[in-house]
Structure 1
Amino acid sequence: MTDLAAFSELLTVDHGLCVLSTLRRDGSIQSSVVNAGVLDHPFGGGPVVGLVAAGGIRKLRNLRADPRTTIVVRAGWTWATVEGTAQVLGPDDPHPDLDRDTLRLLLRTIFRSAGGTHDDYDTYDRVMVEERRAAVLITPTRVYSNPA
């Protein structure tokens, strides 16, 4: 099952806060708290879970080496999990359909899908470039949750 409805609904409860788990090279698990949202893949392929990550961080290195990942959202005792494959798109991860302006707009879309708002998108865009921010798009292979 890959329907993201339950996952998407829970994202709105606590600012899109989720736990993302990636695999280290030694096979152990690395987890961190991120803001995520659900959006359509910018190059087709249906809905994905998206997040924005600073360049040079461990989770990006892990995802480049092994794109399998799990992301969990929870609100109280209700939770939903997405297992899938991550695609990293950013200044250090070129894609033939991704130019600088497309990346700028994609990072904004992910930010907004995670519930983010900003009063000055020019400043937001500048910081994203300075921090070499990348888009992480998780294509679901399995989605499951507990009953609400």
Structure 2
Amino acid sequence: MTGLEKFARLVPGDHGLCVVSTLRPDGTIQSSVVNAGVLEHPVTGARVVGLVAAGGTRKLANLRARPRANVVVRAGWEWAAAEGPVELAGPGDPLPGVDGERLRLLLREIFTAAGGTHDDWATYDRVMAEERRTAVLLTPERISGNPA
């Protein structure tokens, strides 16, 4: 099993809850809890870790300025971390190959990859647009964790 496969296997263990860490301007670490999952990159098709950030958040500002992150998932005592560069796709962060319709679907894909379900996708889409939600796509360069 590859590290990213282990990461994906652990996502359902705690409802996709993960800790994402970014770098502040002074080099210190900022961490927050997010929902994340593993999915295919919308342009390249490569497997990535995806999460969604609300517009105006510190993590989004940090990722715009320093596009690297570490995402840790855990279930019980088992954990996996994925570290690497990120790409952003959102209202303030155009990603070539991802238009408005593709972004709407990508936000849904990330949500479901993190274990989410929704009874009213139209409302979900509206809220994502109102909150200027941005897709964060981490390409894992380094994966670590404890043995399975």
- 1:67 aligns with 67
Q: Distance in 2 between matches of 1:61 and 1:14?
A: 27
Q: Distance in 1 between matches of 2:102 and 2:68?
A: 25
Gaps of 5+ in 2: none
- 1:39 aligns with 39
Identity of aligned residues (%): 67
How many residue pairs align between the two structures?
147
Structure 1 residue 45: Cα displacement: 5.0
Gaps of 5+ in 1: none
Query: Does 1:85 find its partner at 2:85?
Result: yes
* Secondary structure of 2:117's aligned partner: coil
List structure 1 segments (4+ residues) > 4 angstroms apart after TM superposition: none
Structure 1 residue 74: Cα displacement: 0.9
Query: Does 1:140 find its partner at 2:140?
Result: yes
- 1:107 aligns with 107
* Secondary structure of 1:22's aligned partner: strand
Deviations 1:15-50 (A, max 9, x none): 110000000010000000000010010101510000
Q: Distance in 2 between matches of 1:115 and 1:95?
A: 24
- 1:12 aligns with 12
* Secondary structure of 2:140's aligned partner: strand
- Bigger mean CA offset, 17-26 vs 43-52: 43-52
Q: Distance in 1 between matches of 2:48 and 2:83?
A: 11
* Secondary structure of 1:147's aligned partner: coil
* Secondary structure of 2:91's aligned partner: coil
Please tell me whether the aligned partners of residues 88 and 95 of structure 2 are also in contact (alpha carbons under 8 angstroms). Answer: no
- 2:130 aligns with 130
Structure 1 residue 96: Cα displacement: 2.7
Q: Distance in 2 between matches of 1:88 and 1:22?
A: 14
Structure 1 residue 77: Cα displacement: 1.2
- 1:50 aligns with 50
Q: Which amino acid aligns with 1:147?
A: P
Query: Does 1:23 find its partner at 2:19?
Result: no
Q: What is the Cα-based RMSD across aligned positions, in Å?
A: 1.0
Please tell me whether the aligned partners of residues 43 and 98 of structure 2 are also in contact (alpha carbons under 8 angstroms). Answer: no
Q: Distance in 2 between matches of 1:14 and 1:53?
A: 19
